[in-house]
Structures are given as C-alpha cells and as structure tokens.
C-alpha cells in the first residue's frame, strides 16, 4: 500500500486509495450538509468511517472538505484544512482531487488553493494538483 509517495521531490497521494495505513487520513470533497452520497464522499463514508452529517473537518479516518458551496466557501474550507494539518503533524493527510468531480471545478482552479499545504510534510496532494502547481 503506497498511498503516499515522493515523486520528483513532491509529496503525492495515490489516485487509488483502497485502505489506509496507521495515522493516514483520507481527505475528500464533501458538501456542508455531510450528505456523502457520491464519489469520494461515498467511498469515505462506506470504507473509512466518514460520518453522515459531518460536512467539514475530521470524521472517522477522514477529513471532509466542503466543495459545493461556492468559491469563497472553498477557499475558507481549504484554509481550515491547512490549519488542521498544521495542528496534527502526527497524521498523514492524503488529499484526493477535491472539487474536481461532482463540484465541477478544474484542477487549475483548485490546486493553487493548496499552495501552503504543499509545504507541509504531512500533506500529500493528488498528482493532478502537483502537475498544476509545479509545471
């Protein structure tokens, strides 16, 4: 299980996370209501204990990051996630392509929001975000 890898000096999360190692956290796009009915949110609920009704923050072995409420809300949610990652250096956060599925954002719209997260040793971003940020 290689959920977290260093690729060309960048921390990259696997695109296919089917199980979590000790202290790994699955970061997925959610809606603020915590209705985890599709995509990575459904997977987080079914496999990693994301609680129904929790739309932001640590839940189960996951971090719910709301992406469906608009640009300003997404910016704030990413800032909240980065603050959480800083407060929990003992955890490894595996970020999925949050916002780039059901929410309808493009990677070039979302990836730059994670600039500060890319500097944290415990945050691994999806390859598609790394490609945008470090091209």
Query: For 91-115, what is each residue's pLDDT tens digit?
Result: 999 999 999 998 999 999 999 999 9
Report the percent of the chain where pLDDT is more than 70. Answer: 99
pLDDT of residue 38: 87
Contacts of 3 (CB under 8 A, 6+ apart): 13, 14, 17, 20, 21, 24, 92, 94, 124
Checking phi first, is residue 105 left (phi over 0); if not, alpha (psi -120 to 50) or beta? Answer: beta
Q: What is the pLDDT of residues 49-91, one digit of tens each?
A: 999 999 999 999 999 999 999 999 999 999 999 999 999 999 9
Rounded-to-integer distance, Cα 117 and Cα 129, Å:
11
Both tokens of residue 13? 């999360």
Better-predicted residue by pLDDT, 34 or 111: 111
Q: Determine the average pLDDT of the residues in 106-126.
A: 97
Residue-number span of the structural domain to which 108 is assigned? 4-133
Rounded-to-integer distance, Cα 19 and Cα 98, Å:
18
Number of independent structural domains in the chain = 1
Rounded-to-integer distance, Cα 76 and Cα 82, Å:
10
pLDDT of residue 133: 94
Report the percent of the chain where pLDDT is more than 90. Answer: 91
pLDDT of residue 11: 96
pLDDT of residue 1: 54
CATH label of the domain that carries residue 63: 3.40.220.10
Provide the mean pLDDT of the chain: 95
Rounded-to-integer distance, Cα 81 and Cα 131, Å:
21
- pLDDT band at residue 37 under the 50/70/90 scheme: confident
């Amino acid at each position: 299980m290689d959920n977290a890898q260093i690729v060309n000096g960048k921390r990259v999360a696997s695109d296919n996370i089917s199980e979590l190692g000790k202290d790994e956290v699955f970061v997925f796009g959610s809606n603020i209501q915590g209705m985890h009915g599709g995509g990575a949110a459904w997977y987080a609920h079914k496999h990693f204990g994301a609680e129904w009704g929790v739309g932001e923050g640590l839940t189960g072995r996951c971090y719910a990051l709301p992406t469906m409420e608009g640009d300003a809300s997404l910016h704030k949610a990413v800032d909240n996630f980065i603050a959480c990652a800083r407060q929990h250096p003992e955890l490894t956060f595996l970020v999925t392509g949050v916002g780039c599925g059901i929410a309808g954002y493009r990677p070039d719209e979302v990836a730059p929001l994670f600039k500060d997260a890319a500097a944290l040793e415990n945050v691994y971003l999806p390859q598609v975000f790394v490609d945008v940020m470090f091209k």
